[in-house]
Amino acid sequence: MSTLAGWPPSGAETPVVAQPQTEAELDRLWADPPGLWGQLTGVQNDKIGSRLMLTGFFFLLLGGSFDSLVMRAQLAIPDNSLVSPQLYNELFTNHGSVTMFLVVLPIFEGFAILLLPLMLGTREMPFPRLGAFAYWTFLFGGLLYYSSTLFQLVPDAGWFAYTPLSGPEFSPGLAIDFWVLGLGVAEVGAIAAAAEIIIGVCKMRAPGMTISRMPLFAWAMLITSFMILFAFTPLIIGSLLLELERGFGASFFDPQKGGSSLLWQHLFWIFGHPEVYIQFLPAVGIVSMVLPAFTRHRIVGYTWLVASMVAIGFLSFALWAHHMFATGLSPLVLSFFAAASMAIGIPAGVQIFAWLATIWAGRPIWGTPFLFVLGFLVTFVIGGITGVMVAAVPFDLQVHDSYFIVGHLHYVLIGGVAFPIFAGVYYWWPKFTGKRLDERLGRWNFWLLFVGVNVAFWPMHRLGLMGMPRRVYTYESGLGWEIPNLVSTIGVLVIFAGIGVFVLNLAHSWRHGEPAGHNPWGADSLEWATASPPVEHGWSVVPIVRSRHPLWEQQELERGEERLERFVRALSEWPLRWRAAVVVGTADARPQEVFRVAGPSPWPLVAGGGVVLIFLAELVKLRWAAAVGALIVVVAAIAWNRPSEPPMTTEEEAEFERAHHVAVNAGGSVVISRWGMGLAILFLAIAFASLLLSYFYLRLENPVWPPPGVAAPAVTRTAVAGALLAVSTAVVRTAVRRLGRSQQRRFIVGLVAALAVSVAGAVVQTWDLASVGFGLGDHAYGSIFFTLTGFLMVVFAAAVIMVGAILYWALRGLYTNRRWAPVSNVARFWDAMVVMWLVGFATLYLAPHLT
């Protein structure tokens, strides 16, 4: 058994700046304000990241652990009456919803926000305020969801909330509204954090950390975050449709009025299946970071691992229907989804064998994180094998919604996700607390969990094959189900003991842990070069990366190409008046821009409050309050993005630029904000596409479209409105070009003209909508018609508000031909809005004419 003695091969640590006082100065500059105000306005990535993780862990104890304990107690013996059928349904609904929405994702996003700046060699995440907003919305959403318990209105339709069971007829109370709206708020947070992570990984890395030198955890989070964007957005649209049906009398899922219960299943599983891999890929990232440190060998097959993660990212969107094998799809469709589901086995195989090869190539060190990685490998391979089995359609039909699936999914999610989380906590805890965890308690923790998980979930496969369905609150004796159920319950008790030891270990380390030092594991990635716990600004001197394993292969982190050396040294002592961070080229990691990172602000909290108020207003049916919430969000968004007076003159910026050939933007980044706008547009485009798909799905479900008695819409006024919108986008473009030529007046006149033309277009369109002769609640046709229209109008309103804000600031002379990034971003948004408008209304007004 090896120890860590004589390891690592290089002792590279974070370089020290020339003058010690600049270190203190940097720390002061990057710190959040003290006290309660600092807690409410703080944006530091350490704070946001650790809060996300702690809150996720809190929800895990509440919804993951407590619920499962009660459920297993109920099922321990046949014909048990410990809990009522109603309570049992609430328990499994809550268990699934909480673990899928409020536990794993926040924990991984927390890991990412906490770790990435250190691991990538940068001082912050790109949008610290967006990170804070993501946390507040997640917290508020989770609390809103959980408040259902206080009112005895706990959701009880399963974590998948299939319609029509979750619809207004069969779930008339507010319970399902808590589910839709509470989790909806949390989903907004998940998407916000994903955008933050995408840009952070792509644009904010140490100079020299090219895309092929990026740590695998960063790769994993990058791919995961894109998947979040593409998967959670359809879910938000699905939830919107469900809430419109529940609260506003629309019908999308009610067959009586032209809807289809399967539309919900499609929207849900387009989210729901990628969600499984959204949870798994970060685990791949963590395992790929931990393994090299504990085998003393670089990961074997880096490129293969990246390719496998990308492949899983794409494939995961092509197999949602394998949750719907029994709904009556054609054999051809069935075999396609079966093949796609099985194909995932190949990238997963690549990953497993890359890790096996790494273990063979290296010399294992038996630390607790390594034990959890081994536990992960064994459990996950079993879950993967049963996963291939359930991809085989006829077998899936036999075990679908049986305990076989419960066994399979817990092997995958506990083996494939929870064990890597434990590995990650044991691995990085010393970095963030500066203290070691106890190894002996760690081994107890691991073995209790590993044994407990296998004892709890192995017998479930057998129960499923014996015909025990999921989601039953009891079972009768005499079917041979008694012993496996009892064993399973005992296993859960063992898991509990393991979690207890985990909490004990953390508490013990927090109070009495031995100091960890910079790099207790002799690991290779950048975060281990910084102090434990790290300083507020992370890096005084930004490191220069020349290797995929900088701490093993680089003697010094501040050495590199001469121009880069001068650049990073200069940046350690300049500007010292604002929070400076570096933007690099996505692929080549050459410095592109030095920009001012946003600081503490109360507005993310206010905006989060506004979002939750909108959802809360719908929940308690005080709909005017939703307008107040929307107003708060708008005001907060404007205040949040208000261009503050740059803390530096353009001459000072230019001086640094001349010396280092890197752009300086003390007013805020041009590159980062462009990416941010790009992702915002992408988000809206996905939402829009989900609505269009719903439209065409309903179209195909209804042989007569529009329904009898409704005339196909007349196109004249819509064509006029569309033409006006198209003109407005050309006007905006021209106006922006004027600003580029310093023609302020023409710029302003152009914006005003664009607003006038577009508002005229919207008025013409609204006039037409008022006379179409059907309503939201009449039929699925009217429901989807007005939902799409409403979506387009909201996007239009957002664009008008943005242009209005730009106009206001332009009148105050805030934009110059040097500082005009927000203007061009708003112009991009305007273009996107107009394209969606044209496509959307063309669909609504032309599709009914096609037969």
Partner 1 sequence: MARTRLIAATSLHPQSPVAEAIADLWWLMLVLGVIVFLVFAGLLVAGLRRTAPEPSEDRAPHRRLVARWIVAGGVAMPAVVLVVVFAATLQAMRAVPASAPADALEIELTGHRFWYEVRYPAEGIVTANELHVPVGRQVAVRVTSKDVIHSLWVPALGTRVDMLPERTSTVVLQADRPGEHHSRCGEFCGIQHTNMELIVVAEGPDDFAAWVSSQQRFTEPTGALAREGRAVFVGARCVDCHALRGQQTAGARGPDLTHLPGRRTLGAGLSPNTRENIADWITDPQAIKPGAEMPTTPLTPAQLDALLAYLEAGG
Smallest separation (angstroms) from partner 1 to the CB of 699: 15
Helix (H, G, I), strand (E, B) or coil at 364: coil
Q: Which is nearer to partner 1, 348 or 731 (CB)?
A: 348
Helix 85-97, helix 67-75: angle, nearest 10? 140
The least CB distance from residue 464 to partner 1, in Å, is: 8
What are the angstrom distances between the C-alpha of 94 and each of 44, 55, 401, 500?
A: 32, 16, 17, 22
Whose Cβ is closer to partner 1: residue 339's or residue 846's? 339
Shortest distance (Å) from residue 476 CB to partner 1: 4
CA 565/CA 543 separation, integer angstroms: 9
Smallest separation, CB 127 to partner 1 (Å):
37
CB of 397 to partner 1, least distance (A): 4
When the beta carbons of 256 and 742 are compared against partner 1, the nearer one is: 256
| Residue 402 bridge partners (DSSP) | 469
* Nearer to partner 1 among residue 313 and residue 604 (C-beta): 313
Output 382 or 581, the one with its CB closest to partner 1: 382
The owner of tokens 């530091």 is 44
Q: In angstroms, what is the minimal distance from the CB of 332 to partner 1?
A: 10
| Phi, psi for 286 (deg, rounded to 5) | -65, -45
Instruction: Render 781-833 in DSSP notation, one character per residue.
Output: HHHHHHHHHHHHHHHHHHHHHHHHHHHHHHHTT---SSS-HHHHHHHHHHHHH
Q: Minimum distance between the CB of residue 339 and partner 1, rounded to whole angstroms?
A: 6
What is the SS3 assignment for 470?
coil
Instruction: Give 20 or 349: the residue with its C-beta nearer to partner 1.
Output: 349
CB of 818 to partner 1, least distance (A): 48
**Considering beta carbons, is residue 377 or 633 the nearer one to partner 1?**
377
Tokens of 238: 């699905």
Give the nearer residue to partner 1 in terms of CB position, either 128 or 484.
484
The verdict on whether omega for the bond into residue 292 sits within 30 degrees of 0, i.e. cis, is no
Kindly provide the b/e burial profile for residues 604-637, where b requires at least 16 CB atoms within 10 angstroms of the residue's own CB. Answer: bbbbbbbbbbbbbbbbeeeeeebeebbebbbebb
In what order do the strands lie in the sheet containing 580-584? Answer: 580-584, 591-596, 663-665
Q: What is the full DSSP assignment across 78-118? A: TT--SS-HHHHHHHHHHHHHIIIIIIHHHHHHHHHHHHHHH
Work out the burial of residue 762: count CB atoms within 10 Å of its CB; fewer than 13 is exposed, 13-18 middle, 19 or more buried. Answer: buried
Compute the distance between CA of residue 278 and CA of residue 276 in angstroms, rounded to an integer: 5
Pick between residue 24 and residue 472 the one whose CB is nearest to partner 1.
472
The type of residue at 237 is: I
Q: How far is the CB of 362 from partner 1 (least distance, A)?
A: 6
Tell the smallest beta-carbon distance from residue 334 to partner 1 (Å).
7
Nearer to partner 1, 255 or 602 (CB): 255
Q: Which is nearer to partner 1, 371 or 437 (CB)?
A: 371
Distances (CA, A) of 341 to 347, 391, 393: 11, 6, 10
Work out the number of other CB atoms within 10 angstroms of the CB of residue 795: 21
Minimum distance, C-beta of residue 524 to partner 1, in the bound complex (Å): 12
